[in-house]
Structure 1
């Protein structure tokens, strides 16, 4: 009898089966921990994980599709069951075979998935001249971090949200860490990292336009990467930021799909 091979994406798939499956678990855990801290609606199962922090922007409502053997209709059913109709959302899907237009979402591009293998830095990564990197430790710092992200990315629709709407203070002290870069006391960039499931997930790397190309984003990315250099670090990049991550040892594996829209009625 031929051996029955593991699919790699079942709920019973063991940890460590692949870097991508561990990354999805890590990312889903981080999303769910944020939603619990904020007390917001979330669908979190073996099909999809996505919260609703904002009624104004999908940037606060970013989630993931977790299985390749689900249809757009099944995803739509999960969204309807748990989330308020009409809320803006975005889903990142590793699966090219899932058409989420059936869930009312639109294909908005194909960001590269990048992985840095475990191991120390191949070279020193000094801070750019005049930049101070500070880890966020309290609610005031997180509110400033959140505002900097909204302005630097930029994040349309989020600028009118009250402080700590997208990133509630209750997320501090958990497995996610946050950094803010300052020049002359002014916040000019941010990053975050979440450690879990044998992965460091790199997220929310953004610098103000005036600081781009000056090494600030690189320094912020490295701060999150070195949370644990004994495990792979993984991120979903933009084409603009790809060369920055490559300079830190990240390798592009393939492209995922970014879907945006609203929770169907």
Structure 2
């Protein structure tokens, strides 16, 4: 059930947040340009382990427009199987809301999916377009998950828009591999998170709304975890 998920915040290193915020700002700018004034939220989650349990942690605040920032915060923890993010992690595929002929049809499916996943949200409180992109590490494990939601109807049914986002994600991977391999910023270091190979439960995704997007997921060549911190050397 949604209200039983652990959402207590756990501190996120400043270096980790700084490593994603410029990228997310660029993604948000691209998506907002086609949102026709509707609300958009963009954030990134990392996969982490605590006491032999795997979690998704929201790395930073949501970026975007038209939503109440006071209700969301960095550091929130969710079980790995939570929602569309959990499905993207487990399947290592990109997922988006499928195209609908009418908003009423979408809302009927959304209401049924909210009920099936035990969500306390109403249809009126929920976004209507969703996108989740997993980032796979050099060891084959999912490291990060980009999450976007929008109140614009059929926002992510635009293949060109989603593919542009995918190209941005691949560029983000190349940049982080460069930071990992060449260490051009001496005070920014990525530290390992060694616990791996946990088996998640069944994802609580919206099975009626979501479909996979046929594209290769972004992959890192060197990076195996996402735990950047500022150091003195």
Q: Same fold (TM over 0.5)?
A: no
Q: Which has the higher strand share?
A: 1
TM-score, L = length of structure 1? 0.27
Larger-Rg structure: 1
TM-score, L = length of structure 2? 0.30
